[in-house]
Structure 1
Amino acid sequence: MISSYNDLIQASRQQSEPQRLLFVFCRAELPDEASAMERAAFERGEGGALTPVICVDKNPEEASDFAALVEESRSTGQDWDLVFVGAMSGRGGVSPSSDEAQQPLTMMVESIRLGNIGQFLPLNSAGEAVALA
């Protein structure tokens, strides 16, 4: 069971093939047509729509420290609330390249935009796994 970013990094290092991690940082936003009830829930930290604002791929060694990943993301000037993480397995002992990760990363962004998030690990800004309803 992965409950934190550290768990994720450990699990990625235990896989039989080298991994490439895919990160999509998202901001929670309230849609313009939101009802008063939806606005109240959003102000309590519930609901809203997730909008991807940053995406990047890294191998586990490049992203071993969550605080450094957060700092790098903040340097873009984009605020975010959740980061979704996916992974790609290498082949024959070779990690996928950043070029090979571009199409899966684009597909991941589109899946999140469409609300299809079940196959990704959502983490808060502290690196803790969160359950989304």
Structure 2
Amino acid sequence: MISSYSDLIKTAKSEHEPQRLLFVFCRAELPDDASADEKAAFERGEGGALTPVICVDKALEEVLEFAALVEESEGTGQSWDVVFVAAMSGRGGTPPSTDEAQQPLTMMVESIRLGHVSNYLPLDKSGNAVSLG
């Protein structure tokens, strides 16, 4: 069971084929027409919608430390609350390229926009897995 970014890296390193990681950073937001109850729940850290603000793919070797990934994300000027991660396997000992990752990354962003997040690992800013139930 993967419960942190470091667990994810260990698992990805143990895979037979080289991995490329896909990241979608999201900000929790409330719709403009939110009710008073929804606003109160949001203030308690519940509810709201996750809006993708940054997406990027990285070779495993580029993102061994979560702190480096967070630092890079801060350089964009976009604030975020949760990052979703997925992995792509290479073939024949060759990791997937950025070009090969583009369509799966785009599909990942759209899936998250629609609220379909069960196929991805959600992590908080500390690199710990979070439950979105």
- Whether TM exceeds 0.5 here: the answer is yes
Between the aligned partners of 1:48 and 1:100, the Cα distance in structure 2 is 32
Which residue of structure 1 aligns with residue 53 of structure 2?
53
Q: CA RMSD in A?
A: 0.4
Between the aligned partners of 1:109 and 1:132, the Cα distance in structure 2 is 17
Q: How far 1:13 moved relative to its partner?
A: 0.4
Alignment map for 1:29-48 (pairs within 5 Å): 29-48=29-48
Which residue of structure 2 aligns with residue 108 of structure 1?
108
Unaligned runs of 5+ in 2: none
Q: How far 1:33 moved relative to its partner?
A: 1.3
Q: How far 1:59 moved relative to its partner?
A: 1.2
Are positions 1:14 and 2:14 aligned together?
yes
Between the aligned partners of 1:5 and 1:60, the Cα distance in structure 2 is 12
Aligned length: 133
Percent identity between matched residues is 74
Alignment map for 1:75-90 (pairs within 5 Å): 75-90=75-90
Between the aligned partners of 2:120 and 2:68, the Cα distance in structure 1 is 21
Which residue of structure 2 aligns with residue 129 of structure 1?
129
Paired residue secondary structure (2:56): strand
Are positions 1:91 and 2:130 aligned together?
no
Unaligned runs of 5+ in 1: none
Between the aligned partners of 1:132 and 1:44, the Cα distance in structure 2 is 14
String of CA shifts for 1:33-61, please: whole Å, max 9, x gaps. 11110000001111100000000000111
After the TM superposition, which parts of structure 1 deviate over 2 Å for at least 4 consecutive aligned residues? none
Q: What amino acid is the match of 2:126?
A: A
Between the aligned partners of 1:58 and 1:49, the Cα distance in structure 2 is 26
Give the TM-score, by structure 2 length.
0.99
